[in-house]
Amino acid sequence: MQVTFSPEELVSIVGSPSTRGVTSQQITGIGALDTAGVGDLSFLGNSKYRAQVAISKASVLLLPRDYEGEPGVDQLYVFLENPSVGLARICARIEQQMWPKPMPGIHPSAVVAADAKIATTATIGPLCVIESGAVVGEKTHLQAQVFVGRNAVVGEDCWLMPGVSLGTECILKNRVRLHAGVVVGSDGFGYEFVEGRHEKVPQVGHVIIEDDVEIGANSTLDRARFSRTVIGEGTKIDNMVQIAHNVIVGKHCILCAQVGIAGSVVIEDYVVLGGQVGVAGHLKVGKGVKAAGQAGITTTIEPGQFISGHPAMPYMLERRLHVLHRRLPELFKRVDALEGSR
């Protein structure tokens, strides 16, 4: 955050009639109660940190109405029904300053095919390339150096950040957000082994990304062999996640950073995969499954399970086996003793 608010502006944004104390500081940062300093805003969002309020050095604190302590010197308390909501309002204001609404139009340095259809309220930033037949919807923002391939379709209100590559015939629905360096529509990894060489299997399908999906920086999503690779509505994908060809990811899933999903896997709705989880090909991961970080999923998983380990198994079992694994030295000694006493 490199924006500055006066204490009065903050009080106005959160809409609080009730304050205690006063500060002369301009607010230039936000921090947790224990790390915020002079010039920072902090807040009590969780009552378990209540004891930290009195010793916080923040210049402005958002507090629940029932907080009874007194502010320090040059410190302002602002009382709210819900301090977290107040913080969210301030963050929304900061966001407007960090990412102001771009002006609609096509930057003169962009290279846009004559037959591409660009909505009048869309923004095509500098040095973007839009190939023949592509479509960009209303209010969509291609920030800079974005590539949109032949016949690709971008819906409304999307945001494609610098260096994103959207391949031929791939489809983004509405309010899709792709962070810098995301590649959608690279070829699936398919070869036939013929006479000592790997011959390429053409990958002529595409990728569909449904409404309200967000995908983190440098993630890659392969186009299907034929048919489609799909990311379901509302699913959120972190940085450097690999989605292979023909994968179907359901709605409202969470895929943490560096997850890798092999070809033709089906991930049902509301699945959560921790960082660096791997899923082997042609499996199904049932609705609501949660997998701990680095798990290796090698079989179909029934809905609702919490799994971990490699190969992945139910979390409680994996933990129990791990505890026994750590007791192996003791077990060997006990067997030695039994043999000695035979």
Q: So which residues are the catalytic ones?
A: 245
Q: Please, which residue, 122 or 253, has the CB nearer to a copy of itself?
A: 253
Closer residue to a copy of itself, CB minimum distance, 69 or 198: 198
By the rule CB under 8 A, 202 interacts with a copy of itself: yes
Report the distance separating Cα 49 and Cα 85, nearest Å.
17
Task: Enumerate the β-bridge partners of residue 278.
Answer: 260, 296
Q: What is the distance between the alpha carbons of residues 333 and 342, in angstroms, rounded to a whole number?
A: 14
For residue 28, count other CB atoms closer than 10 A to its CB: 15
> What is the closest distance, in whole angstroms, from the C-beta atom of residue 163 to a copy of itself in the complex?
6
Question: Which residues from 9-38 bind a copy of itself, rule CB under 8 A?
Answer: 29-32, 35
Residue 19: beta bridge partners? 78
335 is an interface residue for a copy of itself by CB under 8 A: yes
Amino acid (one-letter) located at 296: G
Site for a copy of itself in 66-105 (CB under 8 A): 88, 91-92, 94-95, 98-99
Sign of the Cα pseudo-torsion (144, 145, 151, 152, in order)? negative
Is 206 in contact with 171 (CB distance < 8 Å)?
Answer: yes
Minimum CB distance to a copy of itself smaller for 7 or for 278: 278
Binding residues for a copy of itself, rule CB under 8 A, total: 103
Compute the distance between CA of residue 147 and CA of residue 137 in angstroms, rounded to an integer. Answer: 15
Q: Which of residues 221-240 bind a copy of itself (CB under 8 A)?
A: 222, 226-227, 234, 236, 238-240
Nearer CB in complex with a copy of itself: 226/300: 226
Question: Contacts with a copy of itself in 132-191 (CB under 8 A)?
Answer: 143-145, 147, 149-151, 161-163, 165, 167-169, 179-181, 183, 186-187, 189, 191
Selected binder of a copy of itself within 65, 117, 200, 282 (CB under 8 A): 200
Which is it for strands 313-314 and 248-249: parallel, antiparallel or unpaired?
Answer: unpaired
- In the region spanning residues 249 to 308, those forming contacts with a copy of itself, defined by CB under 8 A, are 252, 254, 256-258, 260, 262, 275-276, 278, 280, 293-294, 296, 298
Q: 232 burial class (0-12, 13-18, 19+ CB within 10 angstroms)? A: buried
